[in-house]
Amino acid sequence: MWKIVWGCPLSSLASAIGSAVKNITDHNKGLVRVVDIEANILARNSDPIGSVALASDTNKLYIYLGSAWGSIDIVS
């Protein structure tokens, strides 16, 4: 059973986030893809919007939003 977030099934929210990231990254080919520790990722501020980073010391995937990094917890 999917969890409800902000009145929508979590599956819908995940789909919407995926679509938004795809739309941004389609316009920014060749984006930076980073694997580093969380502190180093959060210190970065000159990457293109839509850049993706995986924190090697946490279970988080980061997406650069232009002024800050947004994160998604990865659950296995």
Q: Read off the pLDDT of residues 1-23 as tens digits, 9 standing for 90 and up.
A: 455 555 555 556 566 666 666 66
Report field, pTM of the whole predicted structure over 0.75:
no
Give the model's pLDDT for residue 1. Answer: 45
Taking the C-alpha atoms of residue 76 and residue 61, their distance in angstroms, rounded to an integer, is 13
**Could you give phi then psi for residue 57, rounded to 5 degrees?**
-105, 0
Question: What is the chain's mean pLDDT, rounded?
Answer: 77
Taking the C-alpha atoms of residue 33 and residue 42, their distance in angstroms, rounded to an integer, is 14
Give the model's pLDDT for residue 49. Answer: 85
**Token pair of 27 as six digits:** 């316009």
Bridge partner list, 55: 36
- Of the candidates 34, 29, 61, the one whose C-alpha atom is nearest the C-alpha of residue 46 is 34
Pairing state between β 33-36 and 69-73: unpaired
Residue 44 has pLDDT above 70, yes or no: yes
